[in-house]
A and B are shown apart, each in its own frame.
Chain A
């Protein structure tokens, strides 16, 4: 949407979220070190740093992974979703500190290259329990680096949204690698029961939230409305849509958001041009449909971003019949003006 690239797209809310992230990280580290000193006073500083940042990164990764499904289930979580990028980059930095300290601490003594040492200090690649767990951490860190370094809008556009999305879906591969890294590490080092507990609990929470959210979406996709003689689809009663909000329907394999605002109804394609955010989960702000993910805006009656921006989404024709909304399932060209219907 921007006409030039900014270092970071700041606004007041984002600054508040970033302060919360930074404060949360510092608080966790202080708490971790205080508890370690209280219960394991003989722990050396390097080990403390390695463990503090490793567990911090893993907790942040969990938060990142639950935000998606949580905000699909309850729009109140959406504001956190906008800030997920900064959370991701901060998580990478925490993981990087963990990895770098581990490499310095364990692998800089010999005369071989220290990265090479991560891969070769334990050659038990055939073993299930003694597998070199640090290699898994290294590969996960590599993935996190690719994601964090490409989190700017420049890459979304220039890598193409598909490549970018594919790259960022690798977060699940990284998550699996990290799970193995920590579990195997637990066999071979004295990883705390606390960390293992968090991971088991986290895995249950993350997978069940993803399942519930997917189930909810499958209900939208499975929507089979009645068709009238003209082929228009009967969708819902006009009162089911709250003011300045939308309901999402799957219409001819596409998801469509029907918005109600100022006593009018308009329908547009549900997919934001920025990163495919669900427009129908956003609100009407200043007369524009506002994407819940990063705030791109579209005029509801023509699907166009207000000038000087140039994004356009497809629009759909609607009809009202005894408070029942009907939609023409054949969408119009992106940016086509459709007279809103009055309700």
Chain B
């Protein structure tokens, strides 16, 4: 059981760790690449979105790749 718990919590920590890095990238550069509306939105909006970006980074990353191949 302890290995299962350790594995689960390690994966969780890694997931959020990568999420934090992605969140940083989002704040600085990624936001308007993912969604062009972000270009015209206030910077504070990014702060509000930050926790959600950390939580859902795999989906946003996928979107980032898609939008780059589409351009």
Q: Which residues of A pack against B, CB within 8 Å?
A: 2-7, 115-116, 119-120, 123, 125, 145-146, 149-152, 154-155, 157-160, 163, 167
Q: Which of B2, B40, B52 contacts A150 (CB 8 A)?
A: B52
Q: By the criterion CB–CB under 8 Å, are A7 and B48 in contact?
A: yes
Q: By the criterion CB–CB under 8 Å, are B56 and A152 in contact?
A: no
Q: By the criterion CB–CB under 8 Å, are B52 and A149 in contact?
A: yes
Q: By the criterion CB–CB under 8 Å, are A123 and B1 in contact?
A: yes
A182 to B51, CA, bound (A): 27
B62–chain A nearest beta-carbon distance, Å: 10
A27 to B41, CA, bound (A): 36
B6: which A residues are within 8 A, CB to CB?
116
A154 to B8, CA, bound (A): 29
CB of B37 within 8 A of chain A? yes
Q: Which of A2, A146, A152, A160 contacts B49 (CB 8 A)?
A: A152
A145: nearest residue on chain B (CB-CB)?
Answer: B55
Instruction: Encode B32-71 as 1/0 by CB contact (under 8 A) with A.
Output: 0011011011101100110110111001100100000000
From A116, A146, A150, residue with most partner B Cβ within 10 Å: A150
A102–chain B nearest beta-carbon distance, Å: 17
B42: which A residues are within 8 A, CB to CB?
4, 6-7
A276–chain B nearest beta-carbon distance, Å: 19
Q: By the criterion CB–CB under 8 Å, are B5 and A159 in contact?
A: no
A150 to B59, CA, bound (A): 12
Given contacts A125-B1, A154-B38, list 8 more A-B pairs with CB under 8 A.
A5-B37, A6-B41, A149-B51, A151-B52, A155-B52, A158-B59, A159-B60, A160-B59
Q: By the criterion CB–CB under 8 Å, are B5 and A4 in contact?
A: no
Q: By the criterion CB–CB under 8 Å, are B49 and A154 in contact?
A: yes
With contacts A4-B40, A7-B42 taken as known, whether A116 is within 8 angstroms of B49 at the C-beta atoms is no
B51: nearest residue on chain A (CB-CB)?
Answer: A149
With contacts A5-B37, A7-B45 taken as known, whether A163 is within 8 angstroms of B5 at the C-beta atoms is no
B55–chain A nearest beta-carbon distance, Å: 5
Q: By the criterion CB–CB under 8 Å, are B55 and A146 in contact?
A: yes
B67–chain A nearest beta-carbon distance, Å: 10
Q: By the criterion CB–CB under 8 Å, are A163 and B59 in contact?
A: yes
B24: which A residues are within 8 A, CB to CB?
none
A149 to B50, CA, bound (A): 8
B:10-34 near A, CB below 8 Å: 34
B1: which A residues are within 8 A, CB to CB?
123, 125
Q: By the criterion CB–CB under 8 Å, are A152 and B37 in contact?
A: no
B44: nearest residue on chain A (CB-CB)?
Answer: A7
With contacts A3-B37, A152-B49, A152-B52 taken as known, whether A120 is within 8 angstroms of B2 at the C-beta atoms is yes
B63: nearest residue on chain A (CB-CB)?
Answer: A158
Q: By the criterion CB–CB under 8 Å, are A150 and B56 in contact?
A: yes
B38: nearest residue on chain A (CB-CB)?
Answer: A5
A150 to B60, CA, bound (A): 12
Q: Which of A115, A125, A149, A160 contacts B55 (CB 8 A)?
A: A149
Q: By the criterion CB–CB under 8 Å, are A5 and B9 in contact?
A: no
Q: By the criterion CB–CB under 8 Å, are A159 and B35 in contact?
A: no
A158: which B residues are within 8 A, CB to CB?
34-35, 59-60, 63
A151 to B49, CA, bound (A): 9
Q: By the criterion CB–CB under 8 Å, are A115 and B52 in contact?
A: no
Q: By the criterion CB–CB under 8 Å, are B59 and A157 in contact?
A: no
